[in-house]
Structure 1
Amino acid sequence: MINSEEAARAYCAGLADNQALDRLQKLADLVAEENERQNLVSNASLDMVWQRHLADSVQLVGYVSRETPGQWMDLGTGAGFPGLAIAAVRPSWEVLLVESRKRRVEWLERAIKELDLANCRVAGSRLEDVKNFSAGIISARAFAPLGKLLKLSARFSTRDTIWLLPKGRKAAQELAEQPVAIQEMFHVEPSRTDETAGILIGQGTPRLS
């Protein structure tokens, strides 16, 4: 379990090279700076930014092959987690950040430029207005309840799409409330950064009633 800033940095170092670690630190600095202008994350969490936000995001790459997985689609990216952090540690992976709030879109575009992430772009619109394409990975940290999330995003999935959905303390509960087909598609993995939190992991196209 990652339970300190030192442990979080060490964990990220095991999944990223020095350049990527530098990008993560710069991302942390950019978030802290922007947080004075708009509420990206809670101020209290900035004291544990590596544990609460960076390592919490980066842990998702551990569930994906090191090879380019196809476009990574991050829903409701907000402050940039997990999508922007993923793009920072895997510059060869194509990452699409979906965010509808104008100020957040402006922030994400500015952060992408500051971090020099040619692999990352923002879809500044509601998910319903994003054109269909086949995503290799779909992630969402705090986008919507599971049922609604799947209904909105299933059209971007194929039988090979991997779903990585950090759901906090309600991961198992949200999954248990879904139809059997969805329960069979996903399983819960414990978060490395919070012993009370879980990540819903699945593959394929959801069978929705």
Structure 2
Amino acid sequence: MTVELLTSEAEARSWIGAAFALTEQQWAQLDRFAAMLVEENAQQNLIAASTISTLWVRHIADSAQLLALDGAVEGLWIDLGSGPGLPGLVAAILSPRPMLLVESRRRRCDFLRAVAGELDLAHVEVAEAPLERIETRPAATISARAFAPLDKLIALSTRFSTESTRWLLPKGRNAVKELESLPQPWQGMFHVEQSRTDADSQILVGMGNIGAKQRGKR
């Protein structure tokens, strides 16, 4: 199926509004998050300066599309290497699901907490630690926008997965190459979706307990 690309800020906003039937409060939260992101970017490098003029396409819609791929899943969403809250804070604005933002850098965690506090996102928890130090808990969804190469990402996060866990992993133009580098039992758990925000980017969407697949291979 061909995906219609979002090529302008107006198209990105229109798609988000249609896909999620946003309330006035959610629009206000997204607008404020976008403003805080730009403001904070002057203090620490959260996003490439060249992407500020296309913020809604490159970052807001790019994050929101992951929630659209998640279907009607409920339960804990863990966002690995959340950085400036992409996609975690965007998903938290669009959905009331509990959200765990894992980020090891203190200044970025300070920003995540500031946004969650100002936007009254009480369902957001910020974990300021490397993933290896985070207590294991079952995740309904695991996302990672720019966390680690696929094999390392899986090795570090599989303990959070269950048979029903949905994996949402934007991997740019290297998605297929990274997927093909995985052991065969893992490859079969994923399929590739075209990004709505970049013709050259793809998203790996998976389902299941990768750790169980690994044990079954032994």
User: Where does structure 1 differ by over 6 angstroms across 4 or more consecutive aligned residues?
Assistant: none
- The amino acid that maps onto 1:36 is A
Match of 2:36 in 1: 30
Contact 1:139-1:163 at 8 Å conserved across structures? yes
1:70-123 Cα deviation digits (max 9, x unpaired): 100000000110001100111x21100000001111111111111110111101
Match of 1:3 in 2: 7
Query: Helix, strand or coil for the counterpart of 2:125?
Result: strand
Query: Helix, strand or coil for the counterpart of 2:188?
Result: helix
1:118-163 Cα deviation digits (max 9, x unpaired): 1111011000000011000000000000000000000000000000
With the length of structure 1 as denominator, give the TM-score of the two structures: 0.96
Residue 60 of structure 2 corresponds to residue 57 of structure 1: no
Which of 149, 156, 159 matches 2:153? 149
Query: Helix, strand or coil for the counterpart of 1:165?
Result: strand
- The amino acid that maps onto 1:34 is E
The Cα shift of 1:22 comes to 1.6
- The amino acid that maps onto 1:112 is A
Measure the CA separation in 2 of the matches of 1:16 and 1:56: 17
Which of 176, 181, 191 matches 2:195? 191
Measure the CA separation in 1 of the matches of 2:163 and 2:155: 16
Give the direction of change, closer, same or farther, for the CA distance of 1:51–1:188 in structure 2 (3 Å limit): same
The Cα shift of 1:25 comes to 0.9
Measure the CA separation in 2 of the matches of 1:58 and 1:117: 16
Residue 94 of structure 2 corresponds to residue 89 of structure 1: yes
The Cα shift of 1:63 comes to 1.8
Which of 39, 48, 52 matches 1:46? 52
- The amino acid that maps onto 1:106 is D
Which of 25, 47, 58 matches 1:19? 25
Match of 1:110 in 2: 114
Query: Helix, strand or coil for the counterpart of 1:37?
Result: coil
Measure the CA separation in 2 of the matches of 1:66 and 1:148: 28
Residue 158 of structure 2 corresponds to residue 162 of structure 1: no
- The amino acid that maps onto 2:70 is V
Measure the CA separation in 2 of the matches of 1:60 and 1:22: 21
Measure the CA separation in 1 of the matches of 2:122 and 2:21: 17
**Gap regions ≥5 residues in structure 1:** none
Measure the CA separation in 2 of the matches of 1:56 and 1:16: 17
- The amino acid that maps onto 2:94 is V
Contact 1:99-1:123 at 8 Å conserved across structures? yes
Measure the CA separation in 1 of the matches of 2:83 and 2:12: 21
Give the direction of change, closer, same or farther, for the CA distance of 1:16–1:97 in structure 2 (3 Å limit): farther
Match of 1:79 in 2: 84
For 1:106-145, list aligned pairs within 5 A. 106-145=110-149
Measure the CA separation in 2 of the matches of 1:81 and 1:180: 30
> After the TM superposition, which of the residue ranges 57-66 and 3-12 deviates more from structure 2?
57-66
How big is the alpha-carbon RMSD for the aligned residues of Structure 1 and Structure 2?
Answer: 1.1
Q: Kindly, what percent of the aligned residue pairs are identical?
A: 46
- The amino acid that maps onto 2:44 is Q
The Cα shift of 1:65 comes to 3.1
**Gap regions ≥5 residues in structure 2:** none
